[in-house]
Amino acid sequence: MLDTLIERIRAAHETHSPLIIQGGGSKTFYGNPDEGEVLGTRKFTGVVDYQPKELVLTARAGTPLAEIEALLAEQNQMLAFEPPHFVPLPNPLPLAGEGANDALCAPRPIYATLGGCIAAGLSGPRRPYAGAARDFVLGVRIIDGTGQPLRFGGQVIKNVAGYDVSRLMVGALGTLGLITEVSLKILPKPAAEITLQFELDEASAILKMNQWAGQPLPLSATSWHAGLLTVRLSGAASAVQVAQAKLGGEALHDASGFWQRLRDQATPFFDKRPLWRLAVKPTTPPLNLGDAQWIEWGGAVRWLASERPANTLREVAKTAGGHATLFRGDAPSDGTFSHSTKPASGQVAGYPHPSPRTGEGANVMPTAINDGVFTPLAPALATLHRALKQRFDPHGILNHGRLYPDF
């Protein structure tokens, strides 16, 4: 399978033919439109090594995230960055041998893979307190845009030999190479968790999130929406109880469901389009943009559906020390997590289609994203990005345009 991937990329490199790398298709909505033939990684699966005592797991790119999480859970361990899956609950795992089936009539299940998780570099509610996807990446194997397999980093926690190319791949959206294998640092699951809710206005909630984060409290997630501050505490049972007594609030019963829905954006709030993600300095006061917001990450992320011009939102985010991303610019979801509005070629009508990208290079982005999905880079940084892209993918065949339209 690895040889097939290498061959495909080598051939594409020689013929200057663009490729779209795709795993389980759960994050096709993310990024700028790109064009090319789909290069799937679904068949490249399997946990290569998992040593609970070393806190390290190595798996191939196509391995479903859910499968990895289930394996870790058996050992009371977890992916501490709580990666989003963006698929409906319960999360359907592909059947054995799935992925080999590209038959026209079979709807392909959508699921998050490890490769997509790392390429997108997205993290969930635990991120401000435990670290981001990039923080847990110890090593990667990739195939660069010339078809050259490469290995960076390793399976040990401390490693400063050579430039940190492994972490460079995280969030690069496959534009620097196809990730084929990833080694991650794993953490033990906390013994106990409790989620507390407080009725609070936005400004007070932002202040509380920041004040509490500066105290020795076992915080592991924070959220504010519609007048409700929600806080998760994780740790030894006694520690969580003491913190609960200190903070007060109402215990939330369906806590794991709450955080999972927030992680996967499976609440109606996130169905609105265009959905913007404003990353800001966590202490930034309410943005007063008039649109309803969902605040996460201790105040550092503000989600909103807004029709305001991209430039306006980007200026607001920049003033607040951060940046704005058009996270979902596609048409509103009908709740089935099928984000397509138009069947791609070869698609049988009536079946939910996982994504506009699964077809022959079809890629439909109904909402105008002329201003780009991601905040434009300063000229000096843009030059560096293009230079790096040029070195890893000289013919620009891998996910061309997905991160920034010109490369």
Partner 1 sequence: MAAQFDPAFLKTLQTLLPADSLLTAPEDTLPFESDGLSAYRSTPDVVALPENEAQVAAVLQLCHRHKVAVVARGAGTGLSAGALPVDGAVLLVLAKLNRIKAIDPLARTAVVEPGVRNLAISEAAAPHHLYYAPDPSSQIACSIGGNVAENSGGVHCLKYGLTVHNIINLRAWTIDGQLLEIGSESLDAPGYDLLALLTGSEGMLAVITEVTVKLLPRPERAQVVLAAFDDVAKAGAAVGNIIAAGVVPAGLEMMDKLAIHAAEAFVHAGYPLDCEALLLCEIDGVNEEVSADIYTVRDVLEASGATEIRTAESEEQRLKFWAGRKAAFPAVGRLAPDYYCMDGTIPRAQLPHVLKRISELSAEYGLAVANVFHAGDGNLHPLILFDANQPGELARAEAFGGKILELCVEVGGTITGEHGVGLEKIRQMCTQFAAPELTRFHDVKAAFDPDTLLNPGKAVPELHRCAEWGAMHVHDGQLAHPELPRF
DSSP 8-state class, residue 337: S
CA angle 47, 53, 58 (to 5 degrees): 20
Please state the three-class secondary structure of 263-297 as a single string.
HHCCCHHHHCCCEEEEECCCCCCCCCCCCCEEEEH
279 interacts with partner 1 by CB under 8 A? yes
111 interacts with partner 1 by CB under 8 A? no
From residue 94, alpha-carbon distances to 109, 260, 286 in Å are: 7, 20, 42
* Min dist. Cβ of residue 172 to partner 1 (A): 6
Q: 326: number of CA atoms within 13 Å, CB side? A: 30
Task: Write the single-letter amino acid at 239.
Answer: A
Give the binding range for partner 1 (CB under 8 A) out of 4-12, 105-113, 233-241, 357-365. 233-241
69 interacts with partner 1 by CB under 8 A? no
* Min dist. Cβ of residue 191 to partner 1 (A): 7
253 interacts with partner 1 by CB under 8 A? no
In the range 209-228, which residues lie near partner 1 by CB under 8 A?
210-211, 213-218
Give 59 or 300: the residue with its C-beta nearer to partner 1. 300
Give 161 or 226: the residue with its C-beta nearer to partner 1. 161
Closest to 327 (Cα-Cα) out of 276, 291, 293: 276
d(CA 115, CA 64): 9
In the range 7-46, which residues lie near partner 1 by CB under 8 A?
none
170 interacts with partner 1 by CB under 8 A? yes
d(CA 297, CA 152): 30
Give 147 or 356: the residue with its C-beta nearer to partner 1. 147
407 interacts with partner 1 by CB under 8 A? no
**Cβ(153)–Cβ(369) under 8 Å?**
no
* Min dist. Cβ of residue 268 to partner 1 (A): 26
Helix, coil or strand: residue 207:
helix
**Cβ(138)–Cβ(153) under 8 Å?**
yes
Give 162 or 290: the residue with its C-beta nearer to partner 1. 162
* Min dist. Cβ of residue 56 to partner 1 (A): 7
d(CA 321, CA 184): 30
In the range 303-332, which residues lie near partner 1 by CB under 8 A?
320-323, 325
* Min dist. Cβ of residue 103 to partner 1 (A): 36
Give the binding range for partner 1 (CB under 8 A) out of 12-20, 62-70, 276-284, 362-370. 276-284
Tell me whether strands 178-185 and 56-60 are parallel, antiparallel or unpaired: antiparallel
Give 227 or 321: the residue with its C-beta nearer to partner 1. 321
Q: Residues in the chain, how many?
A: 407
280 interacts with partner 1 by CB under 8 A? yes
371 interacts with partner 1 by CB under 8 A? no
236 interacts with partner 1 by CB under 8 A? yes
**Sheet-wide strand order for 149-153:** 47-51, 56-60, 178-185, 137-143, 149-153
In the range 142-161, which residues lie near partner 1 by CB under 8 A?
144, 148-152, 154-161
Which of 88, 107, 131, 352 contacts partner 1 by CB under 8 A?
131
Give 42 or 126: the residue with its C-beta nearer to partner 1. 126
Give the binding range for partner 1 (CB under 8 A) out of 95-103, 107-115, 351-359, 387-395. 387-395
Phi, psi for 81 (deg, rounded to 5): -85, 0
106 CB burial (10 A radius; 0-12, 13-18, 19+): exposed
In the range 180-209, which residues lie near partner 1 by CB under 8 A?
187-189, 191, 207
1 interacts with partner 1 by CB under 8 A? no
Which of 51, 101, 311, 312 contacts partner 1 by CB under 8 A?
51
* Min dist. Cβ of residue 46 to partner 1 (A): 16
